[in-house]
Amino acid sequence: MSVHESWLASMQRYREELLNKKGVRLTLPPPSLQELGLEYLEVSPGKKILARVPFQSKFTNPIGLYQGGFLAAALDEVFGPLSYITAQGPCMTLAMNVSYLKAFTQKQGFCLIEAEVLKKTSTLIFMRADVKTPEGDLMAHAETHVSILREDQLRGLKP
């Protein structure tokens, strides 16, 4: 079983645990993950996640480059699960800052996103990520902080 398949199976277990413990219904894996074609290559719970994002022409801007908003969505697809496994429950993004350094082109074929946890408190998680070409050139970097949702905030998510 690949790391990606193993992680998707873990997502299903997390989904069932959350529904059984707190009555919160989640769609895991989310449709956005499938749409972006993201593949998890390495998962170190509470520490980091490495993922591969394929270039897809349907996500390009008018000049044929991968559109920055979709790259930000791919970053969020890596930050989201990393925050969840770090907090052991749902989180909400408070802010995400992305700096673009190099275009993501069809010639590259794919990019790699490696996200890591910088710090976790009782209510917040701080993370950063690098987006690199297959050759290891830095294309973008991002930082985010997320709020760990409390029980009272989860009540609105119950079925």
Q: Within a 10 A sphere around the Cβ of 59, how many other Cβ atoms?
A: 20
Q: Which amino acid is residue 91, in one-letter code?
A: C
Residue 144, token pair as written in the block? 């985010």
Which residues, other chains included, contact 149 with Cβ-Cβ below 8 Å and sequence gap of 6+? 89, 90, 91, 92
Contact 26, 80 (CB under 8 A): no
Residue 64, token pair as written in the block? 């044929």
Q: Express each pLDDT in 136-147 by its tens digit.
A: 999 999 999 999
User: Per-residue pLDDT for 158 more than 60?
Assistant: no
Q: Where are the domains of the chain?
A: 3-157
Rounded CA-CA distance 157/18 in Å is 11
| Fold entry, domain 3-157 | Thiol Ester Dehydrase; Chain A (3.10.129)
Q: Express each pLDDT in 84-117 by its tens digit.
A: 889 988 899 999 999 999 999 999 999 999 999 9
Q: Using the structure block, give the residue that is written with the tokens 């270039």.
A: 55
Give the least confident one: 15-24, 72-81, 148-157: 15-24
